[in-house]
């Protein structure tokens, strides 16, 4: 098996270093030898090569079974033009790999409810997956440029039927394997793309007779995520709405340092990354929470390597370490002993033995 | 003075009926005779004329000093094609009146904190105004249509420099009159329109040396609204982001039935409407909360009629009735006696005598 690790910027290198150790432990445990190679992305790539996504990185990723990413971006590169900013590297690798479905599971962790901004009674049973379309919409549509010598500007929200169908099917499949409820989010009262999105969801629904489908407008969804987060099972939406709603949902549980994500395409490789960003303010200080990257490794084991059992072991180990009271600084103030990145990593990995 | 009332659909007619009574009381109190006329909009207009925004409504509104709207929409009209749906009437009147700046003040009400989904300690001092661009962006940009015989679809996020400048200036003016902090929300790491938006904010900032400016990405803003809502004073953003974020912010305080809005253009008339929708489920049952429409009347008195003193009286009367324990059903369970729409209206109006 070949896994490419893209450490990136900020706390990316720190958390992927521990995730790599986890991958090595797992490979040994299952008696295999995995090729773990690193490649450049983001600001780190720009600094060394002048581009946030060097061609060698793309080639290496395409030849892998899976890719684990840390994080990209930071104030150091904020002044750069759009096409060489770290984020362009992230958008580029998503597009190059064709990972059109971004899966973000969001759940409450027993013992970590105190950090939530929501009242405890609303958090009961929160357990959802947001499926965000990742390679279309406003992010990539053309034209995307200044007009009339800078007197106007345009971005383009463009989708093909095929792009919508494949991510909607993916979401239905996930709903089928869970609590069988799918919430499709759009702005069908304003956008033509949303009206087509809604039609496609409706036309695919009969293929999944046991899945209940509901349509929510994006503004209503933004409200209901806060008011009744436990009503959601699987949520599917287009790229920009998904960006906003998944970050909104991420903070509800108070544990953004715990949230993994998987970006999947029609074939391997998948791209796995923690939801938290590069957190430049704490980079290099050894306090970053490695658990979102560990849980991203679990998703990698599940979706790209077909190792469901091992994935569950990793998740159980993380849960056990949290329940026994260990906390990184982002989760401190919740009782329990505060530990650094390496120590948290060691605790989970020794739990796995 | 001429004020046009657009009752619309659902609970719209019930709440604007009480708001009309309030306007009549106020006119009498200031010793003037105001012409209060009604006109059709939304589903009600479609049912009677086949169009959600009849030309007579537009003409009447344009000839007024201010317009008070109830709400539009409901399941009855959801099957209609986009261009004759109730929402098309709302978008149409906004565009026809050129009301490019939608102001939504959001604050906590003493005595109403229990209904908030957020922990009480986060609500301390929440008092912000969201300024949403209302007549541009994805809502109106062309092309907005199916392509290739229905195999693809496009919506267009288009802004002129002038459209961005005028709403940003409006937001700076408001910030200057408040706590002097402006948060501009965009997605400058992905959208060209956001990069232009950010440049324009930066270029106007020197005209307001006492206003502190901060830029937030829309996904970060969606998180911070929940995590630290009291950090915001004035928030300015484009149309679609504003739609999502203002509804997210609206539920934070737990009192969406209390939130007014004003939509202003370069000249009069302004358009005033409660933030809550048409609530078809409770329409006609006499339990709707009229206070958002009363507070919308207060904004109308302030911004379109220049009656700041009277506006403050109306706001004080609403506050007093809430503090003395009266609640409509949406705010029940917070202690206090539950009253219907008419009774709540009477309580506030008698307080004003
Ligand atoms: C960094 C940025 C381009 C990216 C996005 O908007 O997709 C990020 O916010 C995310 O959600 O992964
Ligand atoms: C009804 C709809 C078209 C409208 C909008 O999106 O502007 C509403 O959500 C609002 O915020 O006033």
| Residue A275 burial (C-beta neighbours within 10 Å; 0-12, 13-18, 19+) | buried
Catalytic residue among A187, A233, A272, A330: A187
Q: Which of A82, A81, A93 is nearest to A5 (CA)?
A: A93
Q: What is the pLDDT of residue A255?
A: 82
Which residues from chain A sit within 8 angstroms of residue B243, using beta carbons? 187, 218-219
Mean pLDDT confidence for A6-12: 98
Q: Do B222 and A248 touch (CB under 8 A)?
A: yes
Residue B51 has pLDDT above 90, yes or no: yes
Domain with CATH 3.40.718.10 in chain A: 1-108+256-353, 117-252
pLDDT tens digits for range A194-214: 999 999 999 999 999 999 999
Mean pLDDT confidence for B116-145: 96
Which residues from chain A sit within 8 angstroms of residue B218, using beta carbons? 243-244
* CATH for B1-104+257-353, options being 3.40.50.300, 3.40.718.10, 3.30.300.130, 3.40.50.150: 3.40.718.10
- For ligand 1, atom 7, the nearest C-alpha belongs to A243
Q: What is the pLDDT of residue B104?
A: 98
Residue-averaged pLDDT of chain A: 95
Q: Which of A348, A239, A342 is nearest to A297 (CA)?
A: A348
CB distance B88 to B51 below 8 Å = no
Residue A217 has pLDDT above 80, yes or no: yes
> pLDDT band at B334, cuts 50/70/90?
low
Feature table: binding site of A for substrate: 94, 104, 132, 219
Residue A254 has pLDDT above 70, yes or no: yes
Domain A117-252 indexed as CATH 1.20.120.350: no
3 state DSSP class of A186? strand
Q: Which of A286, A311, A349 is nearest to A66 (CA)?
A: A311
**Least CB–CB distance from B138: residue in A144, A145, A191:** A191
CB distance B71 to B33 below 8 Å = no
pLDDT tens digits for range B227-238: 999 999 999 999
Question: Was B178 annotated as part of a binding site?
Answer: no
A247 is catalytic: yes
Decide: B87 in ligand 2 pocket, CB within 6 A. Answer: yes
Question: Residue B129: which residues within 8 A CB-CB, separation 6 or more?
Answer: B103, B104, B105, B106, B174, B178, B233, B234, B235
Q: What is the pLDDT of residue B118?
A: 95
Residue B346 or A267, more confident: B346
Distances (CA, A) of A306 to A174, A292, A312, B163, B269: 16, 20, 12, 52, 63
Q: What is the pLDDT of residue B287?
A: 95
- For the record, the structure tokens of B31 come out as 């010793």
Q: What is the pLDDT of residue A336?
A: 64
pLDDT tens digits for range A304-325: 999 999 999 999 999 999 999 8
Residue B148 has pLDDT above 70, yes or no: yes
Q: Which long-range contacts (CB under 8 A, 24 or more apart) does B195-199 make?
A: B195/A82, B196/A146, B196/A150, B196/A153, B196/B159, B196/B161, B196/B164, B197/B159, B197/B164, B197/B168, B197/B238
Q: Do A191 and B141 touch (CB under 8 A)?
A: no
Mean pLDDT confidence for B81-109: 95
Mean pLDDT confidence for A12-29: 98
Domain with CATH 3.40.718.10 in chain B: 1-104+257-353, 117-252
Which residues from chain A sit within 8 angstroms of residue B92, using beta carbons? none
Sheet of B260-264, strands arranged across: B35-38, B2-8, B66-71, B270-274, B260-264, B101-107, B127-133, B234-237, B181-186, B212-217
Between strands A127-133 and A337-338, the pairing is: unpaired
| Residue B78 burial (C-beta neighbours within 10 Å; 0-12, 13-18, 19+) | middle
Q: What is the pLDDT of residue A335?
A: 62
pLDDT tens digits for range A262-277: 999 998 799 999 999 9
Mean pLDDT confidence for A227-254: 96
- Report helix angle B341-352 to B291-303, nearest 10: 40
**Least CB–CB distance from B247: residue in A82, A154, A219:** A219
Q: Report residue A132 CA to chain centroid gap.
A: 9
Residue of chain B nearest A156, judged by CA positions: B156
Residue A221 has pLDDT above 70, yes or no: yes
> pLDDT band at B333, cuts 50/70/90?
low
Prediction pTM value: 0.96
> pLDDT band at A110, cuts 50/70/90?
confident
* Nearest ligand to the CA atom of A277: 1
Residue B115 has pLDDT above 90, yes or no: no
Q: What is the pLDDT of residue A274?
A: 97
Domain A1-108+256-353 indexed as CATH 3.40.50.150: no
**Ligand 2 atom closest to residue B73's alpha carbon, by position in its atom list:** 1
């Amino acid at each position: 098996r070949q896994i490419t690790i893209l450490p990136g910027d900020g706390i990316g290198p720190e958390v992927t270093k521990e995730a790599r150790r986890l991958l090595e432990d797992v490979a040994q445990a299952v008696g295999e030898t995995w090729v773990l190679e690193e490649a450049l992305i983001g600001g780190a790539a720009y600094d060394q090569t002048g581009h946030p996504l060097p061609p060698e990185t793309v080639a290496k990723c395409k030849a892998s079974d899976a890719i684990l990413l840390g994080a990209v971006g930071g104030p150091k590169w904020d002044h750069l033009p759009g096409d060489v900013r770290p984020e362009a590297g992230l958008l580029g690798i998503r597009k190059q790999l064709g990972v059109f479905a971004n899966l973000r599971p969001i759940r409450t962790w027993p013992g970590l409810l105190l950090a939530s901004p929501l009242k405890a009674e609303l958090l009961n049973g929160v357990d959802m997956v947001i499926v965000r379309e990742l390679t279309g919409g406003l992010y990539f549509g053309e034209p995307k440029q200044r007009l009339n010598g800078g007197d106007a500007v345009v971005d383009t929200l463009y989708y093909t039927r095929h792009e919508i169908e494949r991510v909607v099917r993916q979401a239905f499949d996930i709903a089928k394997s869970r609590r069988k409820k799918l919430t499709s989010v759009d702005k069908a009262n304003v956008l033509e793309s949303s009206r087509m999105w809604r039609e496609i969801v409706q036309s695919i629904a009969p293929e999944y007779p046991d899945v209940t489908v509901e349509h929510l407008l994006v503004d209503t969804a933004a409200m209901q995520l806060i008011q009744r987060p436990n009503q959601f099972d699987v949520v599917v939406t287009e790229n920009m709405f998904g960006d906003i709603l998944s970050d909104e949902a991420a903070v509800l549980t108070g544990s953004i340092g715990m949230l993994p994500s998987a970006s999947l395409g029609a074939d391997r490789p998948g791209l796995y990354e923690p939801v938290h960003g590069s957190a430049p303010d704490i980079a290099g200080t050894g306090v970053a929470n490695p658990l979102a990257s560990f849980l991203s490794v679990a998703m990698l084991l599940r979706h790209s390597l077909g190792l469901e059992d091992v994935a569950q072991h990793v998740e159980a180990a993380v849960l056990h370490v949290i329940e026994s009271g260990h906390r990184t600084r982002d989760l401190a103030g919740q009782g329990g002993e505060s530990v650094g990145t390496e120590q948290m990593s060691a605790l989970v990995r020794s739990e796995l033995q």
